[in-house]
Amino acid sequence: MKKKQNKYIYYLLVALVVCPATVFAAEDSCKQILGTNTLKMVKDAYNILRFAVPIALVGFSTMDFIKAITSQKADELQTAIKKFTSRLIIGLVILVLPTILYFILNDILGMNICKI
């Protein structure tokens, strides 16, 4: 138990050294804080996810249902339905999370954040 705690403390210290936190108190826009290139990369990555998540959801679920139907076992069909449901929930969370965070941080808490 003690060895495991020491390992976690070691990883935390390494993370703090490798990833130092930088505070930009005077900066107020996303372009100033993140930089133009980083902001563009984040937007591009999110746009790719917006299309890749539904495509992957349909592809993987189709493969699971085809396997379950061809095997003609009821329990495999039930597991395919469970996998599809969990993938659907995860996909929706990935797609809706940025909007929810923006709404909570900007509208409810009144924080001035950039919408990526």
| 39/114 Cα distance (integer angstroms) | 10
Burial of 94 (0-12, 13-18, 19+ CB in 10 A): middle
Tell me if 2 is assigned to some domain. no
Residues 29/114, Cβ–Cβ less than 8 Å: yes
Residue 46: domain span: 29-108
Model confidence pTM above 0.85: no
Residues 24/32, Cβ–Cβ less than 8 Å: yes
The pLDDT tens digits along the chain (116 residues) read 566 666 666 665 565 555 555 555 554 556 666 677 887 888 888 889 888 999 999 999 999 999 999 998 889 999 999 999 999 999 898 888 888 887 777 777 666 666 65
The total domain count for the chain is 1
